């Protein structure tokens, strides 16, 4: 086994979840997914595809109809994007891995903004890259970007910048001015940007297009910018494993080859479901986002009312990221919460060492009452400490 793989840290979120497996009394908010099933008309599209016998390989870059649908969807939200720049992938995580495989050699320098979902720093490490993390800074319970520190970290030796906004786990969302400053800087250093924008629609502030600021709004097609997306969050399709990349035209031929040697293609019936999801997005996503906002606005004030908790409402994403007084070891606290309170949260240090002492609560709950019950459990547990 390669040393880079042996060095990978096992998931601390899994470690907590494993402690609660088989316990039906645990209220679980540890993973980043809704407990609501995919809308039936999306599921029906997959059933119809299978009934038609669509059980064969497809084009490496995806069904032309789906690439067109993604381009039309993207062009509704952002400046026009040609279908020729879209690659369909087997989930967002696969989209990100393909982008890293396409851009990073062993020994290359990669900069990542943290805390962040651990896959984003593990992927370049798997390829043997040197990952330098630049931390967001917590200010009054909210994580903010230190732009000077980030610019100083990105030099002409930096092959790739990886940035996820809206951010899992902090809810940090980049401003347009921050994006422009980073794009200008990376143009000057010749650094690629991999923007993980899977939460772009899960944005709770006013905006022209209902999205968080995107690099697609400001980058030219030929810029060294790759944007990763997923059907998982905005369409309640986590288990389907479907996502996409928006790439500069010059990368498309290589990306087709890379997909051939990774997964060959996304399954056709899944892609058929994706087409319907995009065509009928207005029947899904606005409702999902409105519900998530209700969930956030149910959970965060209740958490904030606990004297031991410090929390700010996330601007985007689907997580409350918060500190509990005296809980200096996140993993230990999360395990104890499962064992002693029947409450399943993710430990902050799963996302970066600087998030030690924080906890992540996924508020994507079909029934917001579960969130209320969860806070009750936390309150009772805290009172007993």
Ligand X SMILES: Cc1ncc(COP(=O)(O)O)c(C=O)c1O
Binding site for ligand X (CB under 6 A): 32, 91-93, 117, 164, 168, 196, 198, 230, 232, 238, 243
* Smaller CB separation from ligand X, 232 or 285: 232
Q: Which two tokens stand for residue 20?
A: 């609660």
Q: How far is the CB of 326 from ligand X (least distance, A)?
A: 28
* Smaller CB separation from ligand X, 74 or 232: 232
Q: How far is the CB of 162 from ligand X (least distance, A)?
A: 10
Indicate the burial class of 24 (C-beta count within 10 angstroms; 0-12, 13-18, 19 or more).
exposed
Q: How far is the CB of 171 from ligand X (least distance, A)?
A: 11
* Smaller CB separation from ligand X, 234 or 330: 234
* Smaller CB separation from ligand X, 32 or 274: 32
Q: How far is the CB of 33 from ligand X (least distance, A)?
A: 7
Q: Which two tokens stand for residue 240?
A: 């389907």
Closest among 145, 164, 273, 271 to 227, alpha carbons compared: 164
* Smaller CB separation from ligand X, 117 or 322: 117
Strand 243-246 with 358-362, pairing: unpaired
The answer to whether 195 and 163 are in contact (CB under 8 A) is yes
- What does the alpha-carbon distance between residue 291 and residue 275 come to, in Å, rounded to a whole number? 23
The answer to whether 174 and 196 are in contact (CB under 8 A) is no
Q: How far is CA 180 from CA 22, 195, 224, 246, 295, in A?
A: 48, 13, 14, 18, 32
Q: How far is the CB of 90 from ligand X (least distance, A)?
A: 8
Q: How far is CA 284 from CA 67, 200, 231, 275, 343, in A?
A: 20, 15, 11, 13, 29
The answer to whether 46 and 275 are in contact (CB under 8 A) is no
Q: How far is the CB of 9 from ligand X (least distance, A)?
A: 17
Q: Residues 328, 330, 333, 335: what is their CA dihedral angle, to the nearest 10 degrees? A: -150
Q: How far is the CB of 239 from ligand X (least distance, A)?
A: 8
Indicate the burial class of 11 (C-beta count within 10 angstroms; 0-12, 13-18, 19 or more).
middle
Q: How far is the CB of 251 from ligand X (least distance, A)?
A: 19
Strand 109-114 with 158-164, pairing: parallel
Strand 27-28 with 137-139, pairing: unpaired
Interior angle at CA 329, CA 323 and CA 334, nearest 5: 75
* Smaller CB separation from ligand X, 121 or 230: 230
* Smaller CB separation from ligand X, 32 or 347: 32
* Smaller CB separation from ligand X, 13 or 309: 13
Q: How far is the CB of 352 from ligand X (least distance, A)?
A: 13
Q: How far is the CB of 383 from ligand X (least distance, A)?
A: 32
* Smaller CB separation from ligand X, 240 or 322: 240
* Smaller CB separation from ligand X, 109 or 196: 196
Strand spans (E) along the chain: 27-28, 86-89, 109-114, 130-135, 137-139, 142-144, 158-164, 192-196, 225-230, 243-246, 309-311, 319-324, 343-344, 346-347, 358-362
Whether the CA torsion 299, 302, 307, 313 is positive or negative: it is positive
**Whose CB is nearest to ligand X?**
92
Q: What is the H or E stretch that residue 119 is in?
A: helix 119-126
């Amino acid at each position: 086994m390669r040393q880079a793989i042996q060095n990978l840290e096992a998931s601390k979120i899994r470690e907590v979840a494993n402690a609660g497996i088989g316990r039906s009394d645990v209220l679980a908010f540890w993973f980043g997914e809704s407990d609501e099933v995919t809308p039936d008309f999306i599921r029906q599209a997959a059933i119809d595809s299978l009934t038609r016998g669509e059980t064969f390989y497809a084009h490496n870059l995806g069904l032309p109809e789906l690439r067109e649908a993604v381009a039309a969807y993207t062009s509704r939200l952002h400046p026009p994007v040609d279908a020729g720049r879209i690659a369909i992938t087997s989930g967002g995580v696969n989209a990100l891995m393909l982008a890293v495989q396409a851009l990073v050699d062993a020994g290359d320098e990669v900069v990542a903004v943290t805390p962040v979902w651990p896959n984003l720093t593990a992927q370049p490490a798997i390829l043997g890259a040197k990952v330098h993390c630049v931390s967001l800074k917590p200010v009054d319970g909210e994580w903010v970007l230190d732009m000077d520190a980030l610019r100083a970290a990105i030099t002409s030796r930096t092959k790739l910048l990886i940035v996820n906004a809206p951010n899992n786990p902090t809810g940090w969302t980049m401003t347009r001015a921050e994006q422009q400053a980073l794009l200008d800087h990376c143009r000057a250093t010749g650094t690629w940007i991999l923007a993980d924008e899977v939460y772009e629609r899960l944005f709770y502030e006013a905006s022209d297009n209902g999205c968080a600021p995107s690099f697609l709004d400001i980058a030219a097609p030929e810029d060294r910018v790759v944007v990763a997306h997923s059907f998982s969050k905005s369409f309640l399709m986590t288990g389907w494993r479907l996502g996409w990349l928006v790439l500069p035209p010059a990368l498309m031929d290589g990306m087709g080859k890379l997909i051939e040697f990774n997964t060959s293609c996304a399954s056709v019936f899944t892609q058929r479901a994706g087409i319907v999801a995009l065509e009928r997005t207005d029947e899904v996503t606005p409702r999902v986002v409105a519900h998530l906002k209700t969930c956030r606005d149910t959970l965060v004030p209740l958490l904030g009312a606990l004297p031991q908790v410090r929390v700010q409402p996330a601007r985007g994403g689907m997580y409350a990221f918060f500190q509990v007084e005296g809980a200096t070891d996140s993993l230990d606290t999360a395990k104890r919460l499962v064992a002693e309170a029947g409450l399943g949260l993710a430990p902050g240090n799963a996302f970066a060492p600087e998030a030690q002492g924080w906890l992540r609560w996924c508020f994507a709950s079909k029934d917001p009452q579960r969130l209320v019950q969860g806070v009750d459990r936390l309150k009772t547990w805290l009172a007993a400490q």
